[in-house]
Every structure is written in structure tokens, then in C-alpha cells.
Structure 1
Amino acid sequence: MRTRSLTSAAVSAALGAALLAAPAYAADGVPPGQNPAATETTNVTAGSTPTADTPTGVPSGVPSDAPSATATPSESPAGDPSPDPSSSAPAEGTGAPVFGNVGSDPSDAGFLTVAVSSDSAITEVSAKLTQRHGAEPATVAVSGFTLVSGTPLDGVWRSPRMSQLPSFGSYDVTVSARDSDGDDTSASGVTTVDVEPKPVFADRSISPAVLDVEHTHVKLSGRISLFDPISGETSPLGGKELGVSAQYGYSAVTAADGSYAIDVAPRLNGENATSVAVSLSFWIANPDGTNTYVLVDSKTLPVVISPSRIRLDHSSVRIKYGVKASSSGVVEYLYGGTWRPAKGVAVDMGYYAKATSSAAGRFTLTYPYLLSGDTSFTVGTSLDSYLDDPYLTASHAQFKVDVINRTSICFCTSWLDAYSDLHIQGSMNGSDGKVPPNRKLYLQQSADGKSGWKSLGWFTVKSNGTFNLDAYVSVPKGYWRLYSAGSSDYQPGNSNSVHFNRTATRITGFNAGPEPVRKGRTVTTTGTVQKLSGTKWAAFGKQRVYILFQAKGKKSWTQLGSVKTDTHGHFTARFTAKQDGTWVGVYLASGSYVDAESYRDYVDVR
């Protein structure tokens, strides 16, 4: 009896001399989706462990669906293996057994197959598997090989399931064989096999077939199990973190039964996107500290962009100054030859007014600031790139605003002389900063300053909007104001009212500032009270001036406080800025003097 170990050269020659024939499986033991004719020299799980030639994180392809979650490889070989065993067995009496290909079963890494030939019938095949990694690598003996194809002289032998392996990982394989005339052969390190769990997928689905305005979400579903080649059992992969790539990265976790149902809404990269690549994957940790990338499913979904349009309720509108401009309408898209309302589309107007369309495609936009003159706006779906709907083309519509300006009249200076002549001095302008074309002003009088205003006559202001004249009044006691009837582009307007047949007074140089001012800061009001002395104005000292405030959008006035003038008639009063509004100083005369009201000063609080 001869016993020898093959040298490396001899092993290489032997490996080239014979082909490994893969074992066949019983009909109820072949995992669905597997080709029992396929052969490999090493076991490869779904998604290879990254090596120097395969960077970590790069998918190696979509793994097979087999073995299924309900079927595991059989331990009872049957059928004809492919390829066939070598037909070049040594002639009788010429030598010891010669090994061909050695490796794990391609469909189930829990089995080891050995191709061996000799000059007499092989009577025994065995192997030893040694862990490649670990502080104290274990070596496991495997025996009980059975002939699964060919003949005892030249055939393929298959181990029982290697349930004695201590753990998953890579193993170096040493094989031994003996023939009927007592010749023994052993070969160490003939191959390395990877015994790793194999992912099993079922019911995989990625939908819809096309991404468009009515199908903006990607739904992924299925079930993942792990086949254990050591135990031969398949179990659900529950609680596993999955990575989803759909233009952006998302994550999900499998349920206890290994199922997953994921819903993501990918954001397209740019307006010209034509497709979205979707993939689902996860990582398996290996005993050697590396990780294996597993691609569960992948699909490229075409992207269809639909035409859109904006239909405004009105293409133009007339508003009074002080009323904010608004535009309303509907957003629609063309789908299947029909225009349909577009829900949830971002629309804006002039970069300031923004809205989102309702389920009926309706929207209303309101410009937040007051307009001082006629203007136009562009209402669009794509004025801000981050608001774009990627499945709709951009659409725009024009919207014109005709502003009816406010008419402002200042009855700045007035007095009533001994001849009952009322001196009228002031200015007139519009909220657009221009002088209204209708420069006719009416002088009106009322006994109580609240009602019963009666026009006494009219005059025309200068082209620059100022006026300075005297008017005789038959009743030199009461209240007077100026009134403008307005025009097509300017609203009617009233001036402040004056009350006297007394010594004329006035407040000059009134100012509230700074303007604009931050909320919570101080607004300082200043001015000078004067009285008419003969034909000249003189300082009116030690007089009380009341500071009134009218909040923006309100009609009523609020008294905030009062202050006394110094000997030069000057006054200064400070208040806390709370909101936008108009400030005015009022002198309420007593005795023979006339009430006076300052210029009204608007302050913007930010």
C-alpha cells in the first residue's frame, strides 16, 4: 500500500486533469430558480465580499431568487451531474488517486464536492476544512462522502451537509482519498470555500412602471430570508436596515417576517431628467470584519413630464391705494389628452407672494406690500427653482394692477384775520408722489367739525401742488377743511380741519423719526408752536401739545401723551415704536387762540 501527499505542482496538474461534475438534486430538493447544471469552484453568496478588484460598496449584480424561502437543498443527491467526470482515470496499477476540481456545491455551500479518479475503485473520500481567520483557527474533519456521478474509478463525490462547521467564513480545504488496492492520496490547500448565509428573495416589486405627475412615489415591496448552508434552514431576515437609492438616499427596516414595504418620493435632478435609477440593498457582516454588499432589487424608471398652464380669473384689476393686490386662478396639467387640476403645485407672484394649489388646482396670491402705482406681475410655477414641480413644465401668466392713488391734502397754515379773511396755505399730492391732474380744491365748513360740511367755493392749486391764498368766510367761527373730488386714477380726499375765529397758531417743523425704525426702539417727535403776532409768527412758549397716533389701516386716532413747549415754542416727546402709523401734533387752544395741527408724518416700523 502506497501513501503520499501531492506537491503543489502535482495538485495543479491534477486539477487540470479532471473536471468537477456538480451533483444533481432530488426534484423536491433543488431550490427554485437554480440550474442544477451550473458549477463553480467556490461558493459565492449573493453579492461578493469586496476585494482589491471590487471596491467596497459597488454592487456586483442582482442576486438570484433561489433558494426560495420554502425550499432548501436536499442532502440526497440524484440525477446526472454536469459536466461529466473525467474519462482519463489512471490505468490499473499505475498510481494513487488523482484529484480533479474541489469546491463547494454551487447551489448550496453546505456541501463539498470532490472529483477524483484512480486505477482502482475509490473506496473512501474525506476532507479537512481549516478556518482562514480568527485567533485560533479551527479545523473540522468531514467524512461520509458518497459517489454522486461517474464511476468509482472516475467520479464526483459529495459530502453530507457540513453541520459541524463552527461558523460562517472562508475555509482552506485539504482532501484525502483511498482506492481499492490501498493507495492513499492527500492534497492540502487545494481550494478555499466560502461558507456564508445566502439571501433569498420573494415577491420583489418596484412600481410604478413610469414616474409622472400622477405617479410621483416609488413603492418597493418584497420579502427577504437568509439560507443557512450549515444548518440547511431558511429564516426571515427581520429587523434588517435596508438602503434605498432613488436620486437621494433613504433607509427602511424589514419587518419580523422579513417583508418590506417602502414608499419614497424621489426629487429629480434638474428639469431635463428622463429617468430615475432605483435600487434596494443591504450589507452582511462577515466573520473576518469585512462586509458583503447585497443588491436586493433594482430598476430604472422612465420620467414623463406633462405640460402645464395657469388660467387666471382676471388678467387685470383696479384697486384703491391701501388695498393689497391679489391674483387668483387655477393650475392645470395635460394628461391623457385632458387638462386636469394640478394639486400641491407651488405658485408665486413677484418672488414675494407664494401659495400652493388646492385639490381643485385653485390658488390665491396676495402681494404683501402696498403699491404706489400701476404695475404688472408674473404669476408662475417656476420662479423659485426649489419650488418647481419636476413632473410639470414651467408655466406663467401676466397680471396687471391699476392703482387708484390716494389724494393727500395738507391744510398746513391758516388764520382768520379781523376782516374774516381765512388764510389758506398748504399742498396737495398723491400716494404715487405726483400731483393729481384734477387740481381743484373745495373749501368746506362745519359747525362741529364732524358733520354738515358745506362747500363755500373752490380754487385750483399750482402745478407743483402748493397753494397760498385768502378766502372770505361769512361765518368766522367753526371748522374748515379742503376737499378734492378726485379723478379716475386718484381717490377723493380731505385735508385736516382747522377751528377758529381766534388768534392764529401753527405747529411747524413737525417730525417723527427716525424712519424707518425698528420695533421696540424710540420714536422722537419734535416741532415748534407759533402764534400770529401782527403779520409775523412768534414763538408760543409754555403751551401744551398733544401727540396723536393713527395705526396703519385704522381710522381712529389715539392720544399717546402730551408735552409743553419751551420758551422758544419747541417741544420734544419720545415714545416706543410698536407699529406702522401716522403721527401728528395738536395744539388745543384756549381763550382767544386758534387750534393748530401739525403736518402728519408716517413712520414705518420694522
Structure 2
Amino acid sequence: MTPALADPASGDTVGIGPVRPTFRDSFSVPVWTDAAGATVHSVTATLHHDNDSVPIVLTDDDGTWRTPSRLELTRDGGTMPALGAYVIDLTATDDHGDTSTRTDAGTLDFTITPMFDTVGVNTLSFNPAGVSVGAHRTAASGRLLGLRPGSDVTVPLAGQDVTVTKYEGGVQPDVQVVTTGGDGRFTTTAFDQGDSAQYAATATVDEPDIHGTVTSIPDRPAVSWTPADISASSSPALVGAGQHYVVRGSVVLQNTNAAQSLDGLIVQVQSDGFPGGPQCTTHTDTTGHFSCTLTAIAHYLQNNWSVTATGPFLSAGPTSGTVAVADDSAYHGTHITLASNGTVTATGSLVAPFDSNAVYDHQDTRLEYSANGRTGWTSIGHAANKTSSPSFTVTGAARLTGAYYRVHHELDRQLAEAVGPVVRLARTDARIVGNNATPEPIKSGRTITVSGTLQQNVSGWRAAPGQLVDLYFHVRGAKSATYVTHGRTDSHGRIALHAKATKDGYWELHYFGDGTHFDGYATPDYVDVR
């Protein structure tokens, strides 16, 4: 808009500057004269809207001419017949009689201004008015009004969209658009209130009689913080490296008058074995209970864990605990044998494979067998490693013709569970039948013959030819038997051995097996020597 400047050459000595709307109900304009010794005498504005024209005599304010008062609608006692955009024409005259006229000098936006109703300093109200750990959802309400220009009269703005936005640091804003009712009031559905969330309402109206954008001051509901205690424990109390343990517990409000719903609190369980260690995040159930599974960290004889709980308006201090973690373990150089007498012997070393300098004394190793090598493992003996050495020797009795064997260390507070290689060992069962010493009775110094048959259980009891068999004599009343002689069985497994009889006692044939057979024993035969 170009101001009407004074032009003495053309006789126009009065200048009119740009119109400056002060508010929607008033405006001002600078006016001057270049005539020597002259002053501006009067300025008249004519406002045009549709078929209406409103003349207004402006008042001087040191060269700036203003509307003498706020413009009001005729219904409010003023001179403006209707709301709308009024085009302003200006005529200015100085006291020398020089006059300048400027049409379409500006526009007065004489329309209703949107505004939010306030109660005190607050624009929004909340239902419920306060939030806490047990009730942290709230709806925002307000009222959109229109301020008529030139007065303090407000009217409700119905059918207008209001955008209510929840702002919270680090969280995507939550936006709801609601429509005002006949009384200008609006209410959102319930928001999930966060610890630092605030709300602001914005409305933009662009209609012939109502124009503008209004935004409320950020507001929030009253907040009630509730202190709480965390209790937790872990199980099992002892685990091996890499195994799982469970931390269980609950969050309990200190204020028993507070709402008891503790559903959905965020619970984080952190293993503090080393920075960046295992952690688990879960949520409480409706009773405040939680459960988290962690993995035990290797190379630490105990893992410290801590629990924190967070939730809207909850102040819960952390709690902590420990779980014993055994070091990794493994068997090295394991060797298992099955002797002919049924004795199983295992040797080797039980070590901590990731710590070459660690030696754990008195670690128990069990010798076990299974029929199928997978299930039903049964212990037949156990022994501890030597002091200051990882080596061990463990024996057990298992006269089994075919079975699987292994060594097994059960989890303890020093070493984790370890299982050695599984081996299958087998021998053929043997026996001596028909052990008989003749003649009987016998005279002292005479030769006695002891005979019997050696059998092996190969798909049934069959003769065992070519096997070495010993003869033993057990004097009556003696503690043990004495070796006498030996021989080999014939093709039918039979054997007859001879000795001189001098004392009363028991004669018996013994078979001490070989690389594939178990021992075989006969039933002793008593002979009376006379």
C-alpha cells in the first residue's frame, strides 16, 4: 500500500500514511501537511462493508490519527452494523483548507477472535484432575469462545475443530482432534499421562465473521508421586556359566491408601558381572509381580544383579542380589577300562578350560553307566581329584556284558557340571560247572583230581576251549586259598588238574578271564583227608 504523499507542485500538501490496525476494533494512521505554517485540521475515515458505510472522525495523537474509541457493533451500543472485513477510505484536511483523499487505504478485520475460556490461569481442565501410579489416564477438556470486537462479550464457538496435543520429552506427540459442542466445550478421550507430559490446545477458525488461531498455554493435571519398594530373589541359587537363572519379585506401594493397580510397570533386571552384561526387561502383572530370566556370566564366581522399576508417578528404589556361578569345567584325557573281575576304572583330569591356572581341590567325579548311553545313568563309584592337581582315579563294580560308561561332575559352587566322553565296554560272561574233587575221602599224600567244565555265555552257555584255568586249595580254617597248579581246557571246555592231598579243605577251579571274558569261578568242593 503506497501512502498518499504531499505534492506541493500539484497543490496536494496533505499526506496520508499507511493504516495501522491496532486491534480488530481500532486503527490509526499517520497524517501530515507540508504547507508552511499549516497543521492537519481533521481526518475522517469511512468504513465500507457490503452495502454499509460507517463514517468515523479520527482524533489527533501528535500526528497519528486514531479511532476515538473501540469500535463496537450496534447491538453492543456501537456504530458498526455487522461483522466482517471493512475497507477504509480516508480524507484529511489542514487548516489552510488543503484536502487529500485516499480510497482503499487499508482493511479493518472487524471479526470475532477465537479464544479459550480460562479458569484462573488455566485453559484446560482434566478428568480426573489428578493422576497417580494407579490411575494415570486423564482426559483434557476446555471451551472455545469468540470475543466480539470492541467489547468484552464472548460467545461460544460451536462445531469447531480443536487439536489437543500431549507433549513429552523423547516421545512422539499424541494428538487428538475433537469438535466443540453447542456451548463451545470440548473433551478428549483419555490420554496415558507420562511423568513429564503437558498438553496444549489449538484452534484455527477461518470464517467470514470469525477469524484467527489460538493456542493455549501448556498445562498438565496434578501429579501425585507414590513411593514403592521392590523385593526380589533369584533361583536357583547356584548355576553354571551360560546357564539361566530367574529373578522374581514384586513392587509394593508404601502408601497403602494409593491405588493398588500396578499392572504394566517397566521392570529392568541387570546383571552387573561386567559392563554391558545380560539384562532383561519385563512388566509387572496386575498384582505387581514380575519374572525375568538371565544368563550367568562365565569367569565370575558370583553374579550381582539389580532390579529397577519405572512407571508413571512411581518412585521405586533399586534392589539387588547375587547368584553363585560355577566356573566352566571339562574332562581332559579320560580313559575308562573294564577288568575281567568286573571292576571299571576311570582316570583323567577335571579342569577349568578357560583358566589354565585354576585348580579346584576335592572336586567329586562320579563313574556312571547306562544301558543305552543316553538315559538311565547310574552311579557305580565316585572319587575326588588329588590335592593341587586336577587328576583323578575312580573305580566301580559293574559285571555287565555290555554297557556305556562315562564320568560326571555335578554342579557345585566351584565348577559347573561336566560330562566326559561316553564309551561302550563289553566282556563275555563265564562260569565253571561241575567242579569235583575225587576221590573223597582220600588218604594223606595221595593224588587228588579236580575236574570241571568252563563255559562262556555266547547266545547261551557254551564250552570255552583253550582257556587257562587255575586250581586253588583252601585249607579248612584258613583265611584265603592258595594257588596249586593250572592247565588249559580241551575242545569241550573240560579240564582235570591233579595235586597231592595232605589236609582237609576246599578245592576249586578259577578262571581269571582274558581280554574279552569275565572271570569264572567254581563252587568249592570239600574233601576229607584221612
With the length of structure 2 as denominator, give the TM-score of the two structures.
0.48
Specify which structure has the higher proportion of strand: 2
Structure with greater Cα Rg: 2
With the length of structure 1 as denominator, give the TM-score of the two structures.
0.43
